[in-house]
Amino acid sequence: PVSILELSTGYHFRPPKNWINDPNAPLYYKGWYHLFYQYNPKGAVWGNIVWAHSVSRDLINWVALETAISPSIESDKYGCWSGSATILPDGTPAIMYTGISRPDINYEVQNMAFPKNSSDPLLREWVKPGHNPVIVPEGGINATQFRDPTTAWYADGHWRILVGALSGASRGVAYVYRSRDFRRWTRVRKPLHSAPTGMWECPDFYPVTVDGRQSGVDTSVVSSPRVKHVLKNSLDLRRYDYYTVGTYDRVRERYVPDNPAGDEHHLRYDYGNFYASKTFYDPAKRRRILWGWANESDTAVDDVAKGWAGIQAIPRKVWLDPSGRQLMQWPVEEVEALRGENPVGLKDRVVKRGEHVEVTGLQSAQADVEVSFELPSLEGAETLDPALANDAQKLCGVKGADVEGGVGPFGLWVLASSKLEERTAVFFRVFKAARNINSTKPVVLMCSDPTKASLNTNLYHPTFAGWVDTDIRKGKISLRSLIDRSVVESFGAGGRTCILSRVYPSLAIGKNAHLHVFNNGKADIKVSQLTAWEMKKPALMNGA
């Protein structure tokens, strides 16, 4: 049906056809951004995995090149799984990736590949040296749970990488391998870090500066300028990425999270559909950029009908918040080039209890919306039920967008049908901290509630939510949503809390998609400023 095709994203990275998953080996080389990704050349479901390859000048327009890495040697014959790139001192990139080397089980080894011709800025052809595999699962490692090598970092005469693993039944582990020559790798006996979370897929480990500036640093910067480290892992069991901020001791090859409970209370890049992410350092604009995969949450039948499945989130700049407690994220500035010429907006508009205000004058199925709210009073905020204080998602499930509160829920209805039967709500709700939460600071919840997103009932539509670490007593909070037909990618409070949702409306499609500000709290709120742009399609999107 037409509606499925109308839901094909306009400006999010996607393939012209077939299945994609993890972003692999993002890098910048001779003026081009490269993105490789897990790809099934034969269909819109996972399988037959190779590395597809696209290049871009601006992170927005993408040209698909020929497959970069596909099964061709003993040690990757049954699959070329995720991996990363490292820029070597002579400026050329090297890729390390996981190969599946047996037909009967997912026996995982680590391989290398190099550009055939490093003077080609497009790095079209990749060759695998004869000494593959370079790392095999030895010393009691579970060979079927041993994958996804990171970008290497260099210090004190050694290269290091991490490989994600599972130890015993439930311990997620990041093993360190070291090399002097980027060829022979030996494991450091004790892992960099581990936690009882289940398998760690796609680890990522990188420095962030503590100066509060938004610039990034190369992965090999280990101590100066003053840095903290971030360790991210993708939880296979729970299908989300979590990270901690901490200290890397390169002599002992150990990492210690600043927050001792960090491996329990998961800080996430994104509280929605965002997995197997990976960062890279962009030397052209001195920033660190995060790529993450957003799976479909439509039915497999619809995936096959539209012929493709999976997108990459808009690349995000990441940096350490001045508090040192968490990362900040913001869509790369290049995406703003897609904004149409005639934004529409609201200014100093009070939205009363139960009121909603439509933002008209644009086609909002493909849009970028920025809004700042003012909260005149927090007096009426609800008390936070201590039983739900640890579980944002559950809380948001109980207190969805239509459940009246004190201060909030207020926010946006996006991809709304004309009679509002369909709408995805992205919103905030403020709570007075309960006495046993040890703080008088009000608590802010951010939610993306898709329970009314579609009249189709056979869809996976969980409510997503995260806390926003902001001092709401100042009476201000902002929200940005990148809307793209079947994606709503939202950034709360300038990028403190992010939520990506996939939704599949049946009515709120194309010209029939509407945008509103709503307030289902008892207290009035004010939109101090709202600006909404239609988003153009990039001229080039992998031929799609």
Catalytic residues, by residue number, are 22
78 or 464: whose CB is closer to ligand FRU? 78
11 or 280: whose CB is closer to ligand FRU? 280
| Residues facing residue 244 across a β-bridge | 231
Binding site for ligand FRU (CB under 6 A): 21-22, 38, 49, 81-82, 98, 147-148, 201-202, 276
Which tokens is 18 given?
């077939």
- Give the separation between CA 344 and CA 517, rounded to whole angstroms: 13
201 or 534: whose CB is closer to ligand FRU? 201
- Give the separation between CA 201 and CA 165, rounded to whole angstroms: 7
100 or 426: whose CB is closer to ligand FRU? 100
Residue 375 to residues 107, 219, 410, 434, Cα–Cα distance (Å): 56, 41, 10, 20
21 or 220: whose CB is closer to ligand FRU? 21
273 exposed, middle or buried (CB, 10 Å; 0-12, 13-18, 19+)?
buried
CB of 464 to ligand FRU, least distance (A): 19
Contact 318, 288 (CB under 8 A): yes
Contact 240, 268 (CB under 8 A): yes
Give the start-end residues of each E strand in 433-496.
Answer: 443-449, 464-468, 476-484, 487-492
| Residues facing residue 95 across a β-bridge | 85, 113
Q: CA-based angle 100:106:109, to the nearest 5?
A: 45
48 or 528: whose CB is closer to ligand FRU? 48
CA dihedral in degrees (112, 116, 119, 120; nearest 10)? -100
CB of 118 to ligand FRU, least distance (A): 26
Alpha carbons within 13 angstroms on the beta-carbon side of residue 35 total: 35
Residues counted in the chain:
544
- At residue 543, the 3 state secondary structure works out as coil
145 or 497: whose CB is closer to ligand FRU? 145
Which tokens is 123 given?
């790095």
Which tokens is 411 given?
């926010």
The DSSP element (H or E) to which 397 belongs, if any, is: helix 392-398
CB of 99 to ligand FRU, least distance (A): 10
CB of 79 to ligand FRU, least distance (A): 7
- Sign of the CA dihedral with 296 first, then 301, 306, and 307 last: positive
CB of 236 to ligand FRU, least distance (A): 7
| Residues facing residue 544 across a β-bridge | none
184 or 239: whose CB is closer to ligand FRU? 239
CB of 245 to ligand FRU, least distance (A): 23
CB of 148 to ligand FRU, least distance (A): 5
CB of 133 to ligand FRU, least distance (A): 15
Contact 345, 530 (CB under 8 A): yes
Residue 106 to residues 39, 78, 144, Cα–Cα distance (Å): 17, 8, 5
CA-atom Rg of the chain in angstroms: 23
- Sign of the CA dihedral with 347 first, then 272, 354, and 506 last: positive
174 or 446: whose CB is closer to ligand FRU? 174
- Give the separation between CA 182 and CA 87, rounded to whole angstroms: 11
